[in-house]
Amino acid sequence: MKKRMLLTGITGFIGRHLACRMMEEGWAVAAIVRPSSDLMALPLALREGVDFHVYEGGTLTDIVSEAKPKVVCHLASLYLAKHESEDIPALVASNILFGTELLEAMAKNNVRRFVFAGTSWQHYQGARYSPVNLYAAKKEAFVVLLRYYDETAGLHAVGLKLFDTYGEGDTRRKILALLQEAAETGEELALSPGDQKLDLVHVDDVADAFRLAAEYLAEDREDICGEYAVSAGVALSLKEIAVRLETLLGKKIPVHWGARPYRDREVMEPWSTGRLLPGWKRRRREIM
């Protein structure tokens, strides 16, 4: 019988790559989606091969019961680099409420293996805990809530803290996409002075970290529980990354460095003291 994963966030960039990877490895994948989720944006293999469960609010207990997962992987979140006051309800609903409902449903169904995504932005200036923004604060708050289910429901959890991600088919307006677009169009891109450093990890390597964590938990490796960094192990300045991308593309990227100020609490040096998941290593090195 195939091992089963229940996944949230399958319509996201990392989520769809992870679902494909798990199916390639012989897992059965079920996914929690909302009525508004654009499933047609997913690859045909996922649309036909994944068992979708539509969540319309309320309890998730029945969905977890129907999915019967060996491991639950929680990727769904709302990311905002900078929030406005009116964004707070959505940030709480996505990053706190939904995840807590998921943990409660797992406890009700005696499902104990849980992999979830955190962020390196929980560690501003390398601190043990200092949130870069409210999004990162919500991620840390979820870890605190998770401890209750660890102590009362015997949860076995692995948290993977992500840095910047990239890869083919990325529709997010991230910096690599913006740089590549500027190279193709020739339109000048207004950026900060560019001395902030980034830790970029390819989505294939990120998906492999989640796969490995799920495999460990499926094997009842309780010793593996804890939080880990999914890091390239090296950080380059935005200017250095732009130069490397120019070499890969064979085109000059028109950038006006310093046209914009750094953001509030700009991360100039990424968190670098997190431990790596045993057995995981970065394989894709096009940029870093």
171 band by pLDDT with thresholds 50, 70 and 90: confident
Task: Look at residue 72 in the predicted model and tell me its pLDDT.
Answer: 98
- Strands of the sheet containing 4-8, edge to edge, are 51-54, 28-33, 4-8, 71-74, 113-119, 156-162, 226-230
Query: What's the rounded mean pLDDT across residues 189-198?
Result: 98
Tell me the pLDDT tens digit for each residue of 74-103. Answer: 999 999 999 999 999 999 999 999 999 999
For residues 144 and 91, the answer to whether their CB atoms sit within 8 Å is no
Query: What's the rounded mean pLDDT across residues 43-68?
Result: 95
pTM: 0.96
Task: Look at residue 142 in the predicted model and tell me its pLDDT.
Answer: 98
Task: Look at residue 99 in the predicted model and tell me its pLDDT.
Answer: 97
What proportion of the chain, given as a percentage, has pLDDT over 70? 100
What's the distance, CA 69 to chain centroid?
A: 20
- Pick the more confident residue, 57 or 153: 153
pLDDT at 288 exceeding the cut of 90: no
Tell me the pLDDT tens digit for each residue of 98-142. Answer: 999 999 999 999 999 999 999 999 999 999 999 999 999 999 999
Please give the backbone phi and psi of residue 177, each rounded to the nearest 5 degrees, phi first. -65, -40
> What is the average pLDDT value for the chain, to the nearest integer?
96
Task: Look at residue 3 in the predicted model and tell me its pLDDT.
Answer: 96
169 band by pLDDT with thresholds 50, 70 and 90: confident
Q: What are the tokens at 112?
A: 């104990």
11/210 Cα distance (integer angstroms) = 16
Task: Look at residue 239 in the predicted model and tell me its pLDDT.
Answer: 97
pLDDT at 1 exceeding the cut of 80: no
Concatenate the DSSP letters of all residues of 108-124 into one string: HTT--EEEEEEEGGGBG
What proportion of the chain, given as a percentage, has pLDDT over 90? 95
**What domains are there in the chain, each with its CATH number?**
4-166+200-230 (3.40.50.720)
- Among 27, 5, 13, 7, smallest CA distance to 203 is for 13
103/100 Cα distance (integer angstroms) = 5
Task: Look at residue 150 in the predicted model and tell me its pLDDT.
Answer: 96
Query: What's the rounded mean pLDDT across residues 175-202?
Result: 96
Report the C-alpha dihedral over residues 241, 242, 246, 251, rounded to 10 degrees.
170
